C-alpha cells in the first residue's frame, strides 16, 4: 500500500512542453479525448502543461518497448478498461516512461512533439466503461449534518463509526464533465401533505465528492486485504453526485437512496494516479473516544499514510451571472483529509464478503464536508436545509439549485516543496424538468 516517492516526483523536473498549475510533469493524469468537433475515435491522452499527449499517436511511433508499448496499445482504445486491468506495474511503468520522455532535454522530444494537442481544442468522453458504481458516506461531518435534517433526534446512526456505509448506485446516468441534465421528477411529500404527489423536485442539491476508479479487480468469492487494497486503485477524479433532497426525504427509508440519486452524476475527465498523489499523503487516525476499526480494516501503512490532502472547492454560477459576465462564486472549500474512512478501507470492506470488483468500477467518496461551516460540501448544509438562503453577487438568493445554475468543482494538492498538481474541474448545469400530462396528483 502507498506509493513511495520516486524520480517522477522530483520538484526540480520541468517539461519541454511547458507547465501549468494543474498539469505539471509531476502529475501526468489520463483521460479519453479526441479533437473537438471531429468524428475521430476517442483514445487515451495524458495532460502535460496546456496540452494533451495523444497516446495512440505515441503507440504508432513504436519508440518504447515491452510493458510500456503494451500499455500504450491498451490506451489506444475508446475505453481504458483494458489498461486499467493491466495492474499497477504497467501503470507505473508507463508513467515513468512518459515522465522521462517529456522532461527537458529528452532525446524523444522531436518524435513526441507532433503527438500533442492543445487542451482547449479537445473534447472528452467517459474514461472507461463503468460497470458498477458504489457511493460511500465517508465524511462524518456531512453524515451528521444530513442526519440532523432527516432525524433530528438521532442524526448519526450507531453503525457509522464501525462500518464504511455505502449503497450501490446506477452507472448508466454517470457522464463526463461538462454535463447538462434535466431537473428530476419524483414522488414528493411534505409534512403538510396528506399523501404524496409527483412533481419536479424543489430541493435539488450538489454533492462535493471524489471518484475512485478500480483498476485490477478480484475474483468472485475472494477479498482484497488492507495491505494490497491500493494496488487495485487506478486513480481518482472529481465527482458530483447530484441529489434531489425532497425526493430523498420521502423515499430513502428503509432501504436508502433510489430516484433521488440516479438521475445524474458527473465525473471530471482526468484521472489522477495514486502515484502522483504520493507527496500529499498524511497519517490517518481515529479519535481515541471513537471505536477503533475492526482488525480487517487496520494496517500500519493505513495509519502512517492512509489520508490524502486533496483540496476541494465548490462554485456556483447562475444563468443571470453568465449573462452579466459575473464569474462563478465560491461556495466552500474542504479537504479529503477529513474523511472518516480511507480509500483502502473502502476497497477492503467492499470485498470482505467476496464481492468482485472489476476494472472501471467507480466508488464515490461521499460528500466531503469538513468540520467548519465554510467546509460544507452541499447546499443542504450551507443553507441549513433551506432555512438560511445564500446571496449571489447578482442579488439572487439560493436555498437549493435553480434551473440554469452551473456548479463547478475544482481540486488540487500542494504541500511542502512538492509541486502543486490539479484535478482540473467538473462542471454541471441544471436544465428545466420535462413536464408531461402525467405530472401532478
| DSSP symbol at 370 | -
Residues 98-110 pLDDT 10s: 999 999 999 999 9
Catalytic residue list contains 232: no
pLDDT in tens, 274-326: 999 999 999 999 999 999 999 999 999 999 999 999 999 999 999 999 999 99
Q: Closest by alpha carbon to 305, among 287, 288, 285?
A: 285
Domains 7-125 and 133-431 share a fold: no
Q: In DSSP terms, which residues pair with 103 in a beta bridge? A: 15
Single out the catalytic residue among 9, 142, 338, 350. Answer: 142
The C-alpha atoms of residue 182 and residue 439 are separated, in whole angstroms, by 15
Question: Any idea which fold 7-125 has?
Answer: SH3 type barrels. (2.30.30)
Sorted by where each begins, the domain ranges of the chain are 7-125, 133-431
**Tell me, what's the pLDDT at 4?**
80
Mean pLDDT value across the chain: 95
pLDDT at residue 438 in the model: 52
Residues 6+ apart with CB under 8 A from 82: 74, 359
CATH class of 133-431: alpha beta
* Distance, CA of 165 to CA of 427 (rounded, Å): 27
Q: How confident is the model at residue 439 (pLDDT cuts 50, 70, 90)?
A: low
For residues 116-134, average pLDDT? 97
Please, which residues bridge with residue 117 across strands? 52
Read off the pLDDT of each residue in 61-88 and give the average, rounded to a whole number: 97
- Looking at residues 191-201, what average pLDDT do you find? 93
Q: Examine the pLDDT at 167 and tell me if it is beyond 80.
A: yes
Which whole number is the average pLDDT over 231-253?
94
Q: Positive or negative, the Cα torsion across 283, 288, 293, 298?
A: positive
**Confidence at 1, pLDDT banded by 50, 70, 90:** very low
Confidence of residue 436 (pLDDT cuts 50, 70, 90): low
Please name every residue paired with 32 in a beta bridge, in sequence order, or none if there are none: 44, 125
pLDDT (0 to 100) of residue 245: 94
| In the chain, % of residues over pLDDT 90 | 90
pLDDT at 225 over 50: yes
The pLDDT of residue 386 is above 80: yes
Provide the phi-psi class of 440: left if phi over 0, else alpha when psi is between -120 and 50, else beta: left
Q: Alpha helix (H) ranges present in 52-196?
A: 55-61, 66-74, 81-84, 88-102, 109-112, 140-150
Query: What is the per-residue pLDDT for 3?
Result: 47
Residue appearing with cell numbers 460497470: 131
Question: Which residues, listed in sequence order, are joined to residue 133 by a DSSP beta bridge?
Answer: 362
Q: Is the pLDDT of residue 243 over 90?
A: yes
Q: How far apart are CA 13 and CA 26, in angstroms?
A: 8
Q: With cut-offs at 50, 70 and 90, classify the pLDDT of residue 154.
A: confident
The whole-angstrom separation of Cα 16 and Cα 279 is 23
pLDDT score at 256: 84
Cβ-based neighbour number of residue 134 at 10 Å: 20
Residue 403 has pLDDT above 70, yes or no: yes
Amino acid at each position: 500500500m502507498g506509493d513511495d516517492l520516486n524520480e517522477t516526483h522530483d520538484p526540480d523536473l520541468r517539461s519541454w512542453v511547458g507547465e501549468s498549475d494543474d498539469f505539471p510533469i509531476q502529475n501526468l493524469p489520463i483521460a479519453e479525448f479526441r479533437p473537438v468537433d471531429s468524428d475521430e475515435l476517442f483514445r487515451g491522452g495524458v495532460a502535460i502543461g496546456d496540452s494533451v499527449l495523444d497516446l495512440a499517436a505515441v503507440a504508432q511511433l513504436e519508440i518504447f518497448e515491452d510493458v510500456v508499448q503494451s500499455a500504450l496499445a491498451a490506451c489506444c482504445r475508446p475505453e481504458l478498461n483494458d489498461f486499467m486491468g493491466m495492474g499497477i506495474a504497467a501503470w507505473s511503468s508507463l508513467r515513468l516512461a512518459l515522465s522521462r520522455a517529456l522532461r527537458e532535454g529528452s532525446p524523444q522530444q522531436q518524435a513526441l512533439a507532433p503527438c500533442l494537442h492543445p487542451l482547449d481544442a479537445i473534447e472528452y468522453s467517459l474514461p472507461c466503461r463503468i460497470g458498477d458504481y458504489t457511493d460511500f458516506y465517508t465524511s462524518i461531518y456531512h453524515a451528521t449534518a444530513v442526519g440532523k435534517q432527516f432525524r433530528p433526534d438521532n442524526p448519526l446512526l450507531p453503525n457509522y463509526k464501525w462500518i464504511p456505509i455505502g449503497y450501490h448506485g446506477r452507472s448508466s446516468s454517470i457522464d463526463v464533465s461538462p454535463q447538462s441534465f434535466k431537473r428530476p421528477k419524483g414522488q414528493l411529500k411534505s409534512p403538510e401533505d396528506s399523501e404524496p404527489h409527483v412533481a419536479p423536485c424543489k430541493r435539488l442539491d450538489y454533492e462535493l465528492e471524489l471518484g475512485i476508479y478500480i483498476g485490477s479487480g478480484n475474483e468472485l468469492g475472494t477479498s482484497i486485504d488492507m495491505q494490497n487494497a491500493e494496488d487495485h486503485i487506478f486513480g481518482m477524479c472529481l465527482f458530483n453526485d447530484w441529489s434531489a433532497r425532497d425526493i430523498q426525504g420521502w423515499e430513502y427509508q428503509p432501504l436508502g437512496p433510489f430516484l433521488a440519486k440516479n438521475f445524474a452524476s458527473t465525473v471530471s475527465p482526468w484521472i489522477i494516479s495514486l502515484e502522483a498523489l504520493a507527496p500529499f499523503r498524511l497519517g490517518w487516525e481515529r479519535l481515541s473516544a471513537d471505536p477503533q476499526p475492526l482488525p480487517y480494516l487496520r494496517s500500519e501503512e493505513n495509519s502512517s499514510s492512509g489520508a490524502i490532502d486533496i483540496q476541494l472547492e465548490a462554485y456556483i454560477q447562475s444563468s443571470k451571472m453568465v449573462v452579466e459576465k459575473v464569474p462563478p462564486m465560491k461556495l466552500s472549500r474542504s479537504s479529503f483529509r477529513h474523511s472518516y474512512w480511507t480509500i483502502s478501507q473502502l476497497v477492503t470492506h467492499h470485498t470482505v464478503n467476496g464481492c468482485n470488483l472489476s476494472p472501471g468500477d467507480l466508488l464515490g467518496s461521499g460528500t466531503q464536508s469538513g468540520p467548519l461551516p465554510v467546509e460544507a460540501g452541499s447546499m443542504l448544509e450551507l443553507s441549513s436545509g433551506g432555512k438560511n438562503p445564500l446571496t449571489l453577487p447578482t442579488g439572487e438568493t439560493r436555498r437549493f439549485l435553480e434551473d440554469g445554475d452551473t456548479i463547478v468543482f475544482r481540486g488540487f494538492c500542494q504541500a511542502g516543496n512538492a509541486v502543486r498538481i490539479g484535478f482540473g474541474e467538473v462542471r454541471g448545469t441544471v436544465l428545466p424538468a420535462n413536464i408531461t400530462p402525467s405530472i401532478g396528483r
